[in-house]
Amino acid sequence: MGKVRSEIDDAAREFIAAQKIFFVASAPLDAGGHVNVSPKGLDTFRILGPTTVAYLDFNGSGVETIAHLKENGRIVLMFCAFQGPPDILRLYGSGRVVEAHEPEFAGLTSSFPVFESVRSMIVVEVSRVTDSCGYGVPLFNYEGERTQLQAWARKRGAEGLKVYRQEKNRKSIDGLPGLES
């Protein structure tokens, strides 16, 4: 039977640190809107405190998580064991977006590697931590990180990334406001 906790304890911290991928889920308030689930990898996740986590958000063709957080703040992060003992850990909470142009951004990103394609930081105040068996999650072998995202960002350059965000990240697929710049 899974555990329910109000904060990230040592066992959860160790489990999270061992995972190479996590998933982010968010949804608009409108029941007819699109639910979003996104995989995240690379060295992009940090536990800032027992109830606070953050991750780097990269340039992409969509802006759903950002739009949903700006609208209602609801977010779930899920970590699955694809190697070792089966386990699934979910962090439920309220998220907020810190865009790259905001003063808080530099301090939040100081403990991360530099990635040219970062467009924002997502900060989550965790209200519920749960785990479950993970018996149905398959075993996979980790081969390494992909390099295409950073190569794509370098090729576009800072100005090209700004134009891309203006073209692709102003509104969600449901028309909700996305990035400001």
Go through the domains of the chain in sequence order and give each one's CATH number.
4-168 (2.30.110.10)
Residues 78 and 19: their CA atoms lie apart, in Å, by 10
Residues 55 and 47: their CA atoms lie apart, in Å, by 9
pLDDT in tens, 144-173: 999 999 999 999 999 999 999 999 999 999
Better pLDDT: 40 or 1 = 40
Q: CA of 57: how far to CAs of 7, 60, 106, 117, 130, in Å?
A: 23, 9, 14, 8, 24
pLDDT in tens, 27-43: 999 999 999 999 999 99
DSSP-based three-state secondary structure for 112: coil
Mean pLDDT of 10-31: 97
Q: What local confidence, expressed as pLDDT, does residue 1 receive?
A: 54
Q: Bridge-partner residues for 118, per DSSP? A: 58
pLDDT > 90: what percent of the chain? Answer: 97
pLDDT in tens, 85-114: 999 999 999 999 999 999 999 999 999 999
Closest C-alpha among 113, 122, 104, 115 to residue 161 = 115
Tokens of 25: 């889920």
Q: What local confidence, expressed as pLDDT, does residue 180 receive?
A: 87
For residues 20 and 41, the answer to whether their CB atoms sit within 8 Å is yes
Beta strands in 111-168 (DSSP E): 118-132
